[in-house]
Amino acid sequence: MLLLKFASFFVLACFSQALTCPQGTISSFSSDTCWLLVKSSMDFVSAEQYCKSQGGHLASIHNGFDNMYLTGEPLSPQTQNCLQVQVNNGLWKSGDCFFGDPFVCNVPDTWTPSLSPSTVTQPGQSTTPASMASTSGMNLPTPPVSNTSKYQQAADYFTATLDTSQDPCNNFYEYVCGNNNPNIVNVGGMDLSQMEDFTDLDAGLTSSGTSDSLPVTLIKHAYTVCKTDMANWANITADGSIIDSLVTKFRNLTSLSFPIIDGSTPDSPNPTQLGNALGLLSGVYGIDTLVSFLIDTDWMNNQGPQPYRLYLDQPILTFSWTYYVGDTWNITLPLLKENVKGLFQAYAAIKNITVDETQLDSDVDLIVNFEFSLANNFSTDSITRWQSKRNYNPITTADFGKNISFFDVKSYFSQLTTFAPDVTAALTNDNYTFIVMEPGQLSKLQDAIKANQFLAQTILNYFYYRILDANAQYFPTTSFKDKSELMTLLKEKNVYRKPIFGKPSFAPKRKLPENVVMKDITPIQESCMSDFLDYFDMASTRVFVDQIYPTQNDKNDIKSHGKNVASGIILGMRSMIDGLSWMDDQTRQKAYEKLNNLIINIAFPDFVVDNSALEAYYNGITNFVNETSYVKILGFLNQFNIQKSLAFLINTKGADRTAFNGPAAIANAWYQPELNSITLPAGFLRNPIYDSGFPWSLVFGSIGIVSGHETTHGFDSSGTQWDATGNLNSWMDQSVQAAFDNMTACVISQYNNFCPLDSSKFTPNCINGQQTQGENVADNGGIHAAFRAYKTTVDFYGEDPRLPGPLMSKFTHDQIFFMSFGKILCMPVPDPQREYVQILTDPHSPGKYRVVGSLMNYPAFRNAFNCPVGDYYTPKDHCNVWVSSVGSK
């Protein structure tokens, strides 16, 4: 199947002109030149390739999207006028160049129709690339090689893991990453970038500055205290007083007993007590339990009078929901019991209390079964929740109280806003409108609690268990010597992270792989900096930016270069949409509007480098410059972040669509559907995956593909529910939606059949294609968009010299592009337990299968490496993701 949409060229009548052009071409009245026209369904890159195959070159760019990129003009269809040839008379014209007009080749008057578009070598054909063919006897120059320091860095990046004993057509991941070679230390490009991020952030945090702003002064002080306290952590936590104070505080504020410790048989908490307890847990302790909350834009109107909303949602458990359903529960059950029992025993030891073993086992069973019930009877699965509109159910505080009364919502709101008293009055007003995401599940939970389906002691013990679990780091270090390795792994992979605004999620702990050894950064330093990425994001961004971009020119350059790459990706995506046979023009126009309105955040938010603006952002933070306890400093930071998040609820100025909503010192990128924005932070735009001195193939094959991945999220099963300005407003009609669903169904089925684990030991043992579909579609769409952007750039600027070295100089840049993709996802051969945890919970497929699935679906890879059809990476049949096939050969 052909991947790109091609059509035959126009055969036009010749006109009586001075120059006699071959039949099938035309000549202009004003020029002694022969023109060959190609239908508009051909994209820019392929049109240029076709013109070259005819002995000529591309003379006219009819496509406004390409024109905007090549001329550097703003991304506005209304301003684009392109030079074109009129089909009826061969005269040049200037006009709207977005629809229906052909590309134009300038060809010699000796042209003969030896090649048609259908016979030009296309990505996927098993022919030897010209650059790989022997030049013996052809009188052709050899490809130039660059020996600059940047090119040498790029070459070293690849050779560090390259294993040429592997067959790239069947073992490409192993070929690039060296996973089958025990002598190769396999570290992926993203991890290498994060290692550099930590190194530079550490340098910035330990630098002296006499004119530092208050937030910078505070984060540098916090880093010093953190390193000191972490080195002395065993002594700091030895008596258990920290964890005991957290338990005592909750007990005093709620008047709720701790049955498993004090042996009480309590009555059920009344609605006010329950509302206070739930609000206190969420708003002060940061622990969502029977109900959860998040702050986000108003999904239906993010520029309206109440641009941010409070969303009340279903229960949050110890682990991600997937651990409690199906056969997975058989694995989770003993581990959860181990966790609950171990925490209660450790706390009893702190209190010097002997707990009856039989009663303890009984209470642990009740708590574990309670969580199982919360997951299976009072929570909705993630697949159903993928449809965001069903989760948007506005209600006033007064009406909610009439419908849900097992906890008092005003008491809940009062405790939730403990750190933001100016927000309390708004939320407790009877007319305040918030969003209930799962009203049916909440009603079911109310019925169960009112029917005394759960013992009061179970609910209360559960609250205290969640406090102990969330603060387990404050137990004496000798408390959990017997904790299983898998239990430790589950905790590392299930960190509940709630951003300032947006949807919270379970995500892995910010931690580099174990095989990454940083020469100058200790585990303590890494842990402290990881804390700051979560708790002190904008202050850490300022320190990081000052360190890696010391001059204003440096700051301007990264913004400009990053924006150019991202803009190229957008244009690549446009050309894909332009060629979709299953999308009608009305829907296509809406897709263009979404791309036109995409916000591109590059490197860092501008306000962080302005002292006054940064201090205004941190207005209200406690000045802890003299505090010597890191535990207390974390408490101050937690208080500020909760306060900052809740303050959105009284913002009436409209949502800020340019918000980064994340730190800069991180090797990652993200798409925010409720803002229709992509963010490429500074920690991502750096060596070894990006440098302005690197060849385009490496740049687009690494950060370009990731940028394309994030852009494609705007067009996955979730992204297509959101419109150009980030409001919940699906823009696909029924027939287009059906075709889109067929496309994603192919991807789901493909990834369902990737089974990395032994079925006799693990259930499930295969990737969940439904769970990972959004990320898989983004990977596939991203590589298409990036390759098109790369080829467009090369066609404009010319091909870069090859990388230096006897081995790397043999690789074409098309090959380097795909090798760059593999490199960013390199990782050590995973431990089966770790891979199992990822399969259960992660929306991403394991790194190897992200590479395998994407390249299987892209015949351009087959062409680059001259792979025969039918090899593992080059199957005959594959999924076409955001591209259309025009027929079979």
Q: pLDDT per residue over 438-492, tens digit each?
A: 999 999 999 999 999 999 999 999 999 999 999 999 999 888 766 666 777 777 7
Residue with the larger pLDDT of the pair 314 and 94: 314
Give 799-853 pLDDT, tens digit per residue: 999 999 999 999 999 999 999 999 999 988 888 988 988 898 888 999 999 999 9
* CB within 8 Å of 586: residues ≥ 6 apart: 733
CA gap 10, 87 in Å, rounded: 9
381 burial via Cβ count (<10 Å: 0-12, 13-18, 19+):
middle
Q: Dihedral sign, CA of 46, 52, 56, 58?
A: positive
For the ranges 14-28, 263-277, 387-401, 743-757, the lowest mean pLDDT is seen at 14-28
Query: How many other CB atoms sit within 10 Å of the CB of residue 356?
Result: 11
Query: Has residue 16 got a pLDDT over 80?
Result: no
> Which one, of 699, 677, 678, lies nearest residue 688 by Cα?
699
pLDDT, average across residues 601-605: 98
* SS3 assignment, position 535: helix
Query: Residue range 282-302: average pLDDT?
Result: 97
The encoded tokens of residue 120 equal 């030009």
What is the model's pLDDT at position 502?
82
Q: What is the pLDDT of residues 49-98, one digit of tens each?
A: 677 777 887 776 555 555 555 555 544 544 545 555 554 444 555 555 54
Report CA 792 to chain centroid distance, whole Å. Answer: 25
Give me 34's structure tokens: 């022969």
If you average pLDDT over residues 404-414, what whole number do you get?
98
Q: Please state the separation of Cα 580 from the chain's center in Å.
A: 25
Q: How many angstroms separate the CA atoms of 335 and 742, rounded?
A: 39
Q: For residues 237 and 241, give the distance between their C-alpha atoms in angstroms, rounded to a whole number.
A: 7
Please report, rounded to a whole number, the percentage of residues in the chain having pLDDT higher than 70: 85
pLDDT of 698 strictly over 60: yes
Grouping H, G, I as helix, E, B as strand and the rest as coil, residue 104 is strand
Beta-bridge partners for 436: 312
pLDDT for the residue 43 = 57
Tokens 């350059």, residue located = 557
CB 301: neighbour CB atoms within 10 A? Answer: 17
Q: Does residue 789 register a pLDDT over 90? A: yes
Give the pLDDT confidence score for residue 117 in this predicted structure.
40
Please give the mean pLDDT across all residues of the chain: 87
Helix, strand or coil for residue 170?
Answer: helix
The predicted structure's pLDDT at residue 112: 73
Q: What is the maximal distance between C-alpha atoms in the chain? A: 107
Domains of the chain, earliest start first: 26-120 (no CATH), 145-238+482-497+507-622+660-889 (3.40.390.10), 246-481+498-506 (1.10.1380.10)
Of 101-115, 269-283, 326-340, 392-406, the least confident: 101-115
Per-residue confidence at 768, pLDDT binned at 50, 70, 90?
Answer: very high
Exposed e or buried b per residue across 397-413, where buried means at least 16 C-beta atoms within 10 angstroms of its C-beta? beebbeebebbbbbbbb
Output 834 or 196, whichever has higher pLDDT: 196
Question: What stretches of 14-95 show up as alpha helix (H) in DSSP?
Answer: 44-53, 64-71
Report the DSSP beta bridge partners of residue 198: none
In the predicted model, is pLDDT for residue 725 greater than 90?
yes
Q: Are 272 and 409 in contact (CB under 8 A)?
A: no
Residue 95: φ, ψ to 5°: -175, -165
Task: Answer positive or negative: Cα dihedral of 644, 647, 651, 657.
Answer: positive
**DSSP assigned state of 704:** I
The reply to whether omega before 688 is within 30° of 0 (cis) is yes
**CA pair distance 591, 261, nearest whole angstrom:** 59
Give the separation between CA 780 and CA 853, rounded to whole angstroms.
Answer: 8
Going by pLDDT thresholds of 50, 70 and 90, the confidence category of residue 311 is very high
Do 335 and 486 form a contact (C-beta atoms < 8 A)?
yes
Least confident of 38-52, 162-176, 337-351: 38-52
Q: What is the pLDDT of residues 207-242, one digit of tens each?
A: 987 789 999 999 999 999 999 999 999 999 999 999
Q: Tokens standing for 268?
A: 């059920």
Buried b (16+ CB within 10 A) or exposed e, 723-754: bbbbbbeebbeeebeebbeebbebbbebbbeb
Residue 802 DSSP one-character state: B
Q: Give per-residue pLDDT as tens, 118-161.
A: 333 333 333 333 334 445 577 888 899 999 999 999 999 999 99
Compute how many other C-beta atoms are within 10 angstroms of the C-beta atom of residue 635. 15
- Residues 222, 216 contacting (CB under 8 angstroms): no
Residue 522 pLDDT grade (very low, low, confident, very high; cuts 50, 70, 90): very high
CA torsion, ordered 301, 306, 310, 312, to nearest 10 deg: -60
Q: How far is the C-alpha of 122 from the C-alpha of 861, rounded, in Å?
A: 11
φ, ψ of residue 24 in degrees (nearest 5): 100, -5
pLDDT for residue 120 = 34
DSSP H helical ranges for 597-725: 611-617, 630-647, 696-699, 705-712
Tokens of 858: 């892209």
Sign of CA dihedral 40, 44, 50, 56: positive
* pLDDT > 50? residue 262: yes
Q: What letter does residue 702 receive in the DSSP assignment? A: I
CA distances from 572 to 69, 575, 677, 790 (A): 10, 5, 17, 9
Give pLDDT tens digits for 667-684: 999 999 999 999 999 999
Rounded Cα gap, residues 269 and 255, in angstroms: 10
Q: Is the pLDDT confidence value at 2 over 50?
A: no
Of the chain, the percentage scoring pLDDT greater than 90 comes to 72
Residue 836 near residue 762 (C-beta atoms within 8 A): yes
Question: CA–CA distance from 367 to each of 322, 339, 358, 446, 461 (Å)?
Answer: 18, 11, 14, 18, 7
pLDDT digits (tens, 9 = 90+) for 530-577: 999 999 999 999 999 999 999 999 999 999 999 999 999 999 999 999
Reply yes or no on whether the pLDDT at 406 is more than 90: yes
> Are the CB atoms for 236 and 578 separated by under 8 Å?
no
The Cα 439–Cα 32 span in angstroms is: 73
Name beta bridge partners: 105.
36, 58
The whole-number pLDDT of residue 99 equals 45
3-class secondary-structure state, position 94: strand
Position 134, amino acid: S
Residue 514: per-residue pLDDT? 67
